[in-house]
């Protein structure tokens, strides 16, 4: 099979030929339809995550896949060859950016039917992270006022839609060029972060979701009501600063499990979408990693192994 791999941190990913892997006990072999590129893949590739996700070389990167079951290992029940699935692989093991991948059966989720199978790979980490923010780190409720920073980005956009479906009033920061897109997700008000200061426009927020980081965190504390919550995804927020402001502060780093991903697939079949930047071949891997690293993408880059 064809795979995308690299043999050293920072080395440009290249196409390689490998044997099709074998599904062991409690595993399935998946014929990959789509594999989403995430910022985490780029950070692992650059060598920034060695303390958390060390890899063995040569390494086939990628965690988020969609596809169809090609073969069942011993002990697998409830699934059959041909079933359409989405799943997340272990970041240290990788393996998504290839024509076939082996997945533990307990990580399989039936793919949503509301979108092309290849593109549903884009739901996996994005949707799982947004779900953790909205329903695990916090419990968003009807009537709450929610501010989403970076609402045009994949996690921000998914969180915006989840909050709207939950009955919250959603406010958002985004660029002017993305304002119509974010309003289309259901945001009540979109603030152009380049030309407006959100703290001059908003107050009395129950929840702020920060997918941006940096000085946005400190400014966000000014718009939260007493007892409100700040949830950050780029880095842990300053708990002492939040405590002084009378609010709660939490950090969310995506932790994958099939139950959570099942909720995400269900939400996709009820209208929650993820924006696709482009569908690319594995041969375009080096360019895709470079674009993701430069922050040039709008939505998810999806590798389509068979074009």
Q: Domain check: are 246 and 215 in the same one?
A: yes
Could you tell me the end-to-end alpha-carbon distance of the chain, in angstroms, rounded to an integer?
A: 14
Q: Domain check: are 73 and 8 in the same one?
A: yes
Report the distance separating Cα 35 and Cα 305, nearest Å. Answer: 8
pLDDT value at 226 more than 80: yes
Helix (H) or strand (E) holding 137: none
Residue 46: inside a domain: yes
Mean pLDDT of 12-33: 97
The range of the structural domain enclosing residue 273 comes to 2-125+256-303
Nearest to 54 by CA among 90, 102, 107: 90
- DSSP assigned state of 37: E
The pLDDT score that the predictor gives to residue 306 is 79
The pLDDT score that the predictor gives to residue 307 is 61
pLDDT value at 41 more than 80: yes
Residue 117: inside a domain: yes
Q: Domain check: are 244 and 261 in the same one?
A: no
pLDDT tens, position by position, 252-300? 999 989 999 999 999 999 999 999 999 999 999 999 999 999 999 999 9
Strand partners for 149: 173, 210
Number of domains in the chain: 2
- Which of 224, 251, 278 is the C-terminal boundary of a domain? 251
Helix (H) or strand (E) holding 174: strand 169-174
User: How much of the chain exceeds pLDDT 70, in percent?
Assistant: 100
Dihedral (Cα; 251, 91, 113, 285), 10-degree rounding: 110
User: How much of the chain exceeds pLDDT 90, in percent?
Assistant: 99
Domain of 274: which CATH number?
3.90.180.10
Report the distance separating Cα 176 and Cα 10, nearest Å. Answer: 34
Per the structure block, which two tokens stand in for 46?
Answer: 């650059």
Q: Domain check: are 208 and 221 in the same one?
A: yes
- Which of 217, 234, 251 is the C-terminal boundary of a domain? 251
Q: Which residues contact 134 (CB under 8 A, 6 or more apart)?
A: 140, 159, 162, 163, 166
Report the distance separating Cα 42 and Cα 136, nearest Å. Answer: 27
pLDDT tens, position by position, 112-163? 999 999 999 999 999 999 999 999 999 999 999 999 999 999 999 999 999 9
Q: Compute the mean pLDDT over every residue in the chain, rounded to the nearest whole number.
A: 97
Cβ-count burial 130-153 (b if 16+ within 10 Å, e if not): bbbbbeebbebeeebbbbbbbbbb
Coil, strand or helix at 246: coil
Residue 262: inside a domain: yes
Strand partners for 248: 229
């Amino acid at each position: 099979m064809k795979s995308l791999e690299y043999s050293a941190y920072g080395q440009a990913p290249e196409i390689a030929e490998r044997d099709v892997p074998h599904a062991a006990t409690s595993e399935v072999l998946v014929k990959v339809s789509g594999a989403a590129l995430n910022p985490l893949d780029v950070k692992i590739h650059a060598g920034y995550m060695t303390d958390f996700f060390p890899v063995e070389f040569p390494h086939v990167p990628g965690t988020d896949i969609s596809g169809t079951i090609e073969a069942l290992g011993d002990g697998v029940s409830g699934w059959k060859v041909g079933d359409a699935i989405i799943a997340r692989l272990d970041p240290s093991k990788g393996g998504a950016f290839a024509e076939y991948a082996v997945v533990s059966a307990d990580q399989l989720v039936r793919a949503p039917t509301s979108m092309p199978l290849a593109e549903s790979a884009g739901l996996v980490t994005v949707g799982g992270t947004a779900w953790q923010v909205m329903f695990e780190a916090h419990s968003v409720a009807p009537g709450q006022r929610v501010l989403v920073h970076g609402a045009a980005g994949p996690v921000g956009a998914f969180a915006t839609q989840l909050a709207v479906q939950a009955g919250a009033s959603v406010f958002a920061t985004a660029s002017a060029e993305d304002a119509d897109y974010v309003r289309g997700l259901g945001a009540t008000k979109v603030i152009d972060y380049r030309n407006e200061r959100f703290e001059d426009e908003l107050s009395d927020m129950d929840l702020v979701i920060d997918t941006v980081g940096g000085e946005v965190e400190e400014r966000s504390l000014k718009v939260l009501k007493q007892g409100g919550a700040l949830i950050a995804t780029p880095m842990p927020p300053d708990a002492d600063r939040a405590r002084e402001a009378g609010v709660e502060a939490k950090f969310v780093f995506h932790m994958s499990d099939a139950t959570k991903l099942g909720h995400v697939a269900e939400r996709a079949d009820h209208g929650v979408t993820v924006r696709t930047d482009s569908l690319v071949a594995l041969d375009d891997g080096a360019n895709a990693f470079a674009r993701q690293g430069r922050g040039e993408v709008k939505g998810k880059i999806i590798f389509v192994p068979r074009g």
